[in-house]
Amino acid sequence: MPYALEDQIGQMILLGFRGTTAEPQSTVLRWIRDCRIGGVYLSENETPMGRTIGNIESPDQLRSLAQTLQSASRIPLFVTLDAEGGQVIRLKERYGFPPTRSAQDLGTRDDVTETQRQSAQLARTLKTVGVNLNFAPVLDLNRNPHNRALNAKQRCYSEDPDVVTRHARVVIEEHHRERIGCVLKHFPGHGSTIADSHLDLADVSDTWSPDELEPFRRLIALGLADGVMTAHVLLRRYDAEQPATLSRVILTDMLRKELEFEGIILSDDLNMGAIQRNFPYEEAVARAVEAGVDIVLNANVDRYDDFAADKTFAVLTEHVKSGRLSRGRIEESFTRIMALKHKLGLE
């Protein structure tokens, strides 16, 4: 069936919201109804961006919430979260979920059978609560022991691209058995940074190396990359002014053309300090889509905004009307998004 421009723009918006239920007059249901958003991002009370009013308190509660949200949307939603394992997992034991192990632990053991077992359990858990898109695995190479965002939280499998690829492949395959998509992150590589992009822009120009692309390149070639999440990093050899999230050279020329990636590109959270401190939100949204981003993510934790969806929807609509963004550009993203939803059985 044909979809209106408003439907297509709405599908490009993925947002965090507050609360463990969705009552009829809730903000998130208004976003689904009025802004036609394509997905939601689930958080807990404690996040890297600070405390919030999260969405998770138990398996039964989360399953009910996901069902309520899906029933309100004409086009099935992406229900997403970060479920990497170890420290970075929103479905924690204290909420009644099974324990998990970190990527660093699994990569150090380098036992693919154990990674497979852990991933199968995680994928089944996600399936039972209605999550259909996991922001994992992390493909960043563990190149800096002082990296606060990654190494300090044991989020990387290894500094070796072969080890990272081997374990990430198993993670993805186990998710696919449950028809759950995976978003590989953070492109083109965040592992050599010191700065935490949750707080400010990270410049990897002097530390990044081309082999950081290898896990992405190999998994894309195997057809295992459903989505790729951008990194808020500055890589001056490719783009002297724009971080990767806003860089057409990195997202379109490198990721799309050189690596031949055909899936969805998601921005990392545009509400993070790396973007928020350097670009007005509305301008960041426009530049991200111009660069090649298909889904704009706003986790909406720090500086929470009840009208985040309205603002994102309005800025994309206005730029189509003004000609800054072509209708064809919107249709490209919409086609990719709907293709993944079809693949995951979201119909």
CA nearest to 157, candidates 140, 144, 172: 140
Candidate from 186-195, 205-214, 245-254, 262-271 with smallest mean pLDDT: 186-195
Which CATH architecture best describes the domain 22-343?
Alpha-Beta Barrel (3.20)
Whether the predicted pLDDT of 73 surpasses 70:
yes
Residue of 198, 232, 269, 294 with catalytic role: 198
pLDDT digits (tens, 9 = 90+) for 216-236: 999 999 999 999 999 999 999
How many helical (H) and strand (E) elements, i.e. helices and strands, does the chain have? 12, 14
Give the pLDDT band of residue 1 (cuts 50, 70, 90). low
Helix ranges (H only) for the chain are: 5-10, 27-30, 59-72, 103-109, 112-129, 161-177, 214-221, 248, 273-276, 281-291, 308-322, 327-343
Residue 8 tokens, joined = 């297509």
Predicted confidence at residue 2, as pLDDT, reads: 80
**Cα–Cα distance measured from residue 131 to residue 110, given in angstroms and rounded to the nearest whole number:** 27
Evaluate whether 80 touches 145 at the Cβ level (below 8 Å). no
Predicted confidence at residue 49, as pLDDT, reads: 57
Residue with tokens 């970190």: 102
pLDDT digits (tens, 9 = 90+) for 150-186: 999 999 999 999 999 999 999 999 999 999 999 999 9
* Domain locations along the chain: 22-343
pTM: 0.95
CA nearest to 243, candidates 283, 276, 289, 274: 274
Give the pLDDT band of residue 273 (cuts 50, 70, 90). confident
Predicted confidence at residue 53, as pLDDT, reads: 85
pLDDT digits (tens, 9 = 90+) for 36-57: 999 999 999 766 656 678 999 9
Q: Known catalytic residue: 232?
A: no
Evaluate whether 204 touches 236 at the Cβ level (below 8 Å). no
Q: Known catalytic residue: 198?
A: yes
pLDDT digits (tens, 9 = 90+) for 78-130: 999 999 999 999 999 999 999 999 999 999 999 999 999 999 999 999 999 99
Pairing, β 83-85 against β 88-89 = antiparallel
Residue of 268, 269, 294, 319 with catalytic role: 268
